[in-house]
Amino acid sequence: MGGGFTKAGLSEIKIPVFLVVGEADKVTPASTNAQHYAKLTRGAKLKILPGDVSHYTFLAECNSRGRTMLDICRDATSVDRAQVHKQVAQMAFEFFEKGGKR
């Protein structure tokens, strides 16, 4: 999606923007997606979660059967999906609590 929006189009954004991406995201790598958009969106905040956090970590937690059957349900052993969700929820809360200011 990195090329899906233009600089001119993104310059029209007037609301607070907070982008969160995992460092290990191979589906939409930060360098060509989140970082790209953050640079082109005035005042955007970007957080890259370190380590093995990947694209699908942000999906809902799966049950044991899902983790057995679906790659999108499996994270690296170093990643606690529930903890990542809590962390992102807290960051979102703080971002909006501050009115979207850095």
3-state secondary structure of 67: helix
Helix count and strand count (H, E) for the chain? 4, 2
Structure tokens at 82: 């529930």
Which residues lie closer than 8 Å to 11 by C-beta, 6 or more apart?
40, 42
Assess contact for 16 and 95: CB atoms under 8 A: yes
pLDDT band at 4 (very low <50, low <70, confident <90, very high): confident
- What is the DSSP code (8-state) at residue 2? T
CA distance 63 to 52: 20
pLDDT band at 2 (very low <50, low <70, confident <90, very high): low
> What does the pLDDT look like over 16-63, one tens digit per residue?
999 999 999 999 999 999 999 999 999 999 999 999 999 999 999 999
